[in-house]
Each structure stands twice: as structure tokens, then as C-alpha cells.
Structure 1
Amino acid sequence: MGSRDIKLFLIKAIILLAVPSAIYINVLNKIDYYCFYENGVYIACVNDKEEAKEAFNQVKGDINKRFGTTIEKSNNISFKKSSGNVVSEYTLNELKENIVKNLNLNITAFRFVIGKNNIGYIANKEEGKQILEKVADRYIDIGKIDKSDIVSVSIDTNSEYIEEKTSVSNVLPTDEVVNKIIETDKDSEEPLVKVEVKTKDKTMIDVEPATIINSSEDLFIGESKVDKGTNGKNEVEEESTYINGKKINTEKISEKIVVKPIDTVIHTGIKNPIPSGIAFLSKPSRGSISSNFGARWGEVHHGIDIASNVGDPIGAALDGTVKETSYNSVYGNMIVVDHGGGIETIYGHCSKVLVKPGQKIKRGDIIGKVGTTGRSTGPHLHFELRVNGTAINPNKYIK
């Protein structure tokens, strides 16, 4: 016997040994079960005959209760023993559903029609009403509406019930009808069922305090003191309207003061700091002083020059109101700011002016850009401090 013949012999031997083994395993795995019939009509295959009988009688009882009929428990139940490798395992509910599906029984039911849409068969008109109420409840859940806030629920639909004879297997479970309506109306501009829910809700809101400006002779110009207020509380009642779970409108019905807010009071100084020699001005531009106040080149220099680059920002030295913006052959583009109490500051040689007369400004606000307009030997800011129209040395009053 050649090597090729030996290989063929071994393969045949392995196959012959394997086949009986597979058959034996298959036989061992076979189980007995029962095919379940009622009046000769196949229902399902089950392992437990008693459980099948109980499920069948429960179905009959459920039908009697739902349709108001009197169907006697059947004595025409039969089982046919069989065996096989696999038998489907049913839960009790699945078995009952299978019984209904295969049950040869006609009953009087109602075809539920909404508009021109045939929704399906239901047991009676009262069940139709319950289905619409369940649709409303479903939309309340979809909209996450707090049920304790609901004041009214209205259901708008054009429905009718047509009495007909049909197989009991054609009658849908109520939850299935609800799901069908919800799914049909999903994203529909003209829903089959329009559920309007109105709610009333009371919430507490914070009320910010008002701000009062108080002029104080105890503080110097440029100084301020803040007495911080506290928030109040108001109770607001709102009515909201939902259509099919979507909020479409909210309207405030009432608002009631619960806790009054306490005003914030800002005390601003009006006392003149000049006689006391108080430093109250901020430096209006970065850079070093290139020319001081006083005599210069045979005339009086009425301010200080701060050397800067063209385009550098110019900040307001103090809170105030823009009195003037103009062009002068000496000062070039200039800004005059009134700070009250006869105190003014002037900003000259600007490349750009960023404010307008009458504008309220705060210390540090950018009011212009450094330049070299007018009579100027290079880019810088000419800064003046005037009291009742007379220029004084600003260096003494810059912080």
C-alpha cells in the first residue's frame, strides 16, 4: 500500500468514526414537546401542557373582560407529542399573544378612524376615549411637563367609531394604538390629535438693586465710595401653553414683591483737591516727560509733554464729560474734558480723537491716540490741567 492509499484509508476511518458520534450526540439532544391545538387549529409548540391550558383560559378571560362577551373556557384543547432538537421557549405574555393571533374567533369591535386615517380596531368607544387620554399623557411625558403645574388639558381630534365584525386577532392592544398615533403625528404640521396643555408655575427671581449717585463734600473730586446694595426677591407666576409636548408660549400673569432690594449708593467726591495738594489724576499716556510745566524758549509752557509713539493710547486722567473736540494751530487735534468744580484737562497734538462733545467718560477710558498735529517737534501728548480757566502744574496732582 502506497503513501497515497494510506492517507485515503485514514480519512475514511475518521469520517466513519465521526458520523455515529454526531448522530449519537443529536439523539441525546432531542427533547419531547407538545404542539398545542384548539378546535384543530394550531396555536404553538410548548414544553408544559398545563401552562399552555392556563394561558389559553387567561386569554379567553381577557377577551370576555375587554369586549363584554361570554366565551366559555374551551374543552377542545388538544396536544400532539413530538420531539426535536429545539423548541421555541415562550414567556407567558408571548404565548398569550400567539394564542390570540391564531384564535379562530370573530367578535364585534369598532374601527377607530381619525380624520381620514384608519387607525385600527379597538374594543369599544370607551377604549377609544382612554386611548386619547393615554396620547395626552404621553405628550405630557415627552414635554417633561410637571403634572402638578397643569391647570387644563384639551384634546382636539376628529374621530369616529365604526362598528364591525372582525377577527379578535385584528383588534390592537391599546398601547399599540397610542404608539401608532404618536408616530403618525411625529413632525406633522396637521396632527391627527392635538393635545393642548396649559400650566401655571410660580418661580422666585432675583431683583437687582438700583444704583443711586450721591455727591459727597467729604470726598475729593476723583474719589468715590460704594455702599453695596443687596438683591431683592420677586415671585413671578407664568402661564405656559404646550401643543403635543412642545412649549409654544409663556406669558407672565403676575409678579409680587417678596423681598425689596436695597439700593447701591455711589458717593462721588465734589471737594476740590487742589488746595489740599491731593494727587487725584491718572497719567494719561505711557512714556517719559520730555518737557515740564513753566518757562520754555522765552514763553510759558502751560502743561507737560509726554513723549510717546504715534498711535499710542490716550487715557482720561479722571471721570468727566467731554467739553470740546477741535483743531487748533498750536494744539493740533485737541480734547477738553470737564471734571466739575472748575477743573478741566486738555489733551493736545492727537493723531485721532475717539470721543464726542457731551460724552460721559471714566478714568482710564481711551479718548484718543498720540500724534504730532499742530505746532509739534515730534510725536507726544501735551497734557494740561486748568482750574477756573488758569493752567497749573499737573505734575503735582498725578498719582
Structure 2
Amino acid sequence: MNTRKIKVIKFIVCVIFIFNSIILIADANVKKTYEAYIGGRLVGYTDDKKEFKQIYGEINNEINQRLGIDLVQDKKVKFKVNKDNIDKSSEKSIKKNIKKAINDEVNAKEININDKNYGIVLNEDEAKDVLKDFIIQNVNKFNINLDSTIDTEIKGDIKYLDVKVPVSKINDIDEIVNNMVNDKNIKVKVKVKEEKEVTIEPKTKIKRDDSMYIGKITVKEGEKGSKKVNSEVTYCNGKKINENIISEYVLKEPKDRIEYRGSKTPIGAKVTFLKYPTRGRYITSKFGSRWGRKHNGIDIAGNTGDPVTAAFNGIIKEAGVVSGYGNMIKIKHENGLETLYGHLSSIKVKKGQKIKEGEVIGAVGSTGRSTGPHLHFELRSNGVPINPEAYIKK
């Protein structure tokens, strides 16, 4: 073989060596993804065998610790190179699939409330832990102070049913608790101690003042007080349903609001204190002698249905049909004063009803002994009719 051929062969060998080296280096820099199998079952994809085995070991330990016995044994783990470039599985997905691959059956407890299954745990202690955690989360959800809690109660029929299921059917405690917290059908009663400062509103005292005419009022405002209140409060799903006050301590005494009411009669002094009882202000018949008889009031012109209002604050003494007056209302005021409203087309109040000046009590009409629609209006003092014109505000 001549020298030239030898050089060509050496060159080709060098090129092949360099090319293979490049491929090996590139392959080394690409992280492989593996298919992970447990007991022949594909549970996910990983790029770290050691990490996968660690997760698998942690799940086994967790289940065995919850069981209290070494029931779950390590199953054979196998890895195959993933040739389809499938992405690495999430840790959550791997854990879920590992549990599905563990087929060992165990005796467990189903948490059943009001005939609804809320999850399966390994034993009754775990079931009780679920309910404790649920109550704590429920209390926190409604911003109730856990330190002040006296008593808690889940309302309903709570049962722990015996079941035999594969390990994969066992639920995480946190998962069950979260499902229960979001279920509005579960009612939780919580009794707590509460201490709060409460405002004491001032009382109103009524005092008569004979220097002022009736209808006049002056007020001396009071001052609010405060007290410390200790109570036991019961909530159901965050809504207050009962409060039992244990003790109260006054921090600041309130000062009464005093309302001075005039008690001086305006009769004789001719002080105006009555409001016009209807919008018509034209008087068609005055107080005094009329057609050989005494007219005990005044007649005010109006149309049928016009509103009739109370001329002064008082209490309805009579409301009904009275001979001559037709539909009639009589209002009792202070100091023996009364006002009377006759010939009404309708009555809108009842006997014993409190009424304020300006409130509608009936409507203008022509019932009883009447020649046309109008309001017959009277003012009486201790039963004696008085001319109301001098006492009506203009």
C-alpha cells in the first residue's frame, strides 16, 4: 500500500472519530426522560431516577405511618428511556399515579355526614382529625377568634362507616377538609366569648313647661354613655344566632335628653297653634248663630276627595258615622282640647291611633246633614265649642 493511500485512510478514521465524539458530547448534554413503571404499571415520566425513587419511598412511608403497620412494601421500579420526547410529569401527577399503583387493600373509615360521603381515611382517629381541622378552618373562614371559642358542634348525623378499599382510594386529610369547608350544606355551630364596648343611648325625659303654650317644644340634648359587655355568642356558619349577656360594666354614664313641652293653654290668649285642616281656605259659614241655631264650627269650601289633615298632634278619639255630621273624626289633644272634622267622604284613621299635625286623616265630602261638599271643622275646650278661626295659623 502506497503512502498516499495510507494517509487517506488515516484521515477518514480521524473524521469518523471526531464525528462520533461530537454525537456523544451532544447526547451527553441532552437530558434523558424516562418512563417510570411500578409493578409493571406506567406512573409517569421523569428525568431523575433518584428523585423518583425518593418520592416513591416517601409515599410508602406516609401510608405505613398512617396505617401504623408496615403493610405497603416497595414494589419493583423500572425505568425505560422515553423515545417519544414526552415532557416530564409533575410531582403531583406522579404521586397520584404511584398511589394508584399500590393495590393493597386496607380496612378504612368513610366519613359520612347526613348520608353524604365526604372521603375515606384509614382509621377513626384520622376521621376525628378531619372534623377538628374542618372546624378550625370553618372558624377561620368567618373570622371568629379561635382563642375565645367555648364550644363547637357540627350539626347533623355524623357516622364513620367501615369500608375495605385499595390504598389508592384513601383520601388526603387536607383534601377532605377543603371539600367540607366549601360545602354550604354542613352547618357548624360555634359558641365564643366576646367582650365589646357598647354605646349607651341617652334616655328622653318629658317635662311640662307652663311658660310655653302647648305645641311648643324645646330640647336639651343628652350625652351618650358607654359600657363593657361580656357575652357568650353562638354563630352558625358565621351568622350570629344567639347572644347571652354574662356581665356588663358601665364605663361612662349617659346624660338624659330632656324635652320640655309647653303646657300653657292658648285658649283665651288667642295664640295660633292649629294648621289649616284642608287646602281650601275659603270659609263659607262662620262660627256662631246660623238659621236660628248655633253653628259650633266653621265650614271650609272644598271638592269631594280633597285631603283632610290633622290640625294638631293628638289621638283619634272617634272615627265613624255620627248623626248630622255624617262621616266624622274627633281628635283629642292636650289640656282638654279637641278638634272635630265632619261631612267626610272617607275616613283614613282608626280610634286610638296616634296622629301628627299635617297627617291625612280623611277626605272632603258631603255626608250627613250637608248642602254640598265642604269640611265642617270645630275646636272644643273641655267640651265647649270655641271659634277656631282665631287659633288657625294663617
Same fold (TM over 0.5): yes
Where 2:233 maps in the other structure, the secondary structure is: strand
Deviation of 1:96 after TM superposition, in Å, equals 3.5
Q: Deviations over 1:207-264 (max 9, x none)?
A: 544433322101112222233445554526133164xx48695242435253444433
Match of 2:55 in 1: 55
Deviation of 1:282 after TM superposition, in Å, equals 0.9
Deviation of 1:370 after TM superposition, in Å, equals 1.9
Matched to 1:225, the amino acid is T
Cα distance in 2 for partners of 1:374, 1:103 equals 98
Aligned in 2, Cα 1:75/1:353: closer, same or farther, shift over 3 Å? closer
Cα distance in 1 for partners of 2:352, 2:127 equals 73
For the 8 Å contact 2:124–2:160, the answer to whether it is kept is no
Aligned residue among 266, 286, 290 for 2:284: 290
Cα distance in 2 for partners of 1:324, 1:284 equals 17
Q: CA RMSD in A?
A: 4.5
Aligned residue among 268, 290, 304 for 1:310: 304
Are 1:254 and 2:242 counterparts?
no
Which runs of 5 or more structure 1 residues have no equivalent in the other structure?
A: 1-29, 189-193
Which runs of 5 or more structure 2 residues have no equivalent in the other structure?
A: 1-29
Deviation of 1:302 after TM superposition, in Å, equals 4.5
Cα distance in 2 for partners of 1:239, 1:44 equals 52
Matched to 1:148, the amino acid is D
Match of 2:205 in 1: 212
Q: TM-score, normalised by structure 2?
A: 0.69
Matched to 2:259, the amino acid is I
Matched to 2:109, the amino acid is F
Matched to 2:360, the amino acid is I
Deviation of 1:144 after TM superposition, in Å, equals 5.8
Match of 2:19 in 1: none
For the 8 Å contact 1:333–1:351, the answer to whether it is kept is yes
Where 1:378 maps in the other structure, the secondary structure is: coil
Match of 1:265 in 2: 258
Q: Deviations over 1:167-192 (max 9, x none)?
A: 65454433345568x49x9848xxxx
Cα distance in 2 for partners of 1:237, 1:177 equals 34
Deviation of 1:93 after TM superposition, in Å, equals 3.5
Task: Summarize the alignment of residues 21-40 of structure 1 with structure 2, pairs less than 5 Å apart.
Answer: 33-37=33-37
Match of 2:83 in 1: 83
For the 8 Å contact 1:353–1:367, the answer to whether it is kept is yes
Aligned in 2, Cα 1:311/1:111: closer, same or farther, shift over 3 Å? same
Percent identical residues: 38
After the TM superposition, which of the residue ranges 59-68 and 129-138 deviates more from structure 2?
A: 59-68
Aligned in 2, Cα 1:236/1:304: closer, same or farther, shift over 3 Å? farther
Matched to 2:80, the amino acid is K
Cα distance in 2 for partners of 1:302, 1:118 equals 83
Cα distance in 1 for partners of 2:57, 2:303 equals 100
Deviation of 1:64 after TM superposition, in Å, equals 5.9
Are 1:378 and 2:375 counterparts?
no
Matched to 1:380, the amino acid is H
Are 1:45 and 2:22 counterparts?
no
Aligned in 2, Cα 1:371/1:143: closer, same or farther, shift over 3 Å? same
Where 2:259 maps in the other structure, the secondary structure is: strand
Deviation of 1:72 after TM superposition, in Å, equals 12
Match of 1:148 in 2: 147
Q: TM-score, normalised by structure 1?
A: 0.68
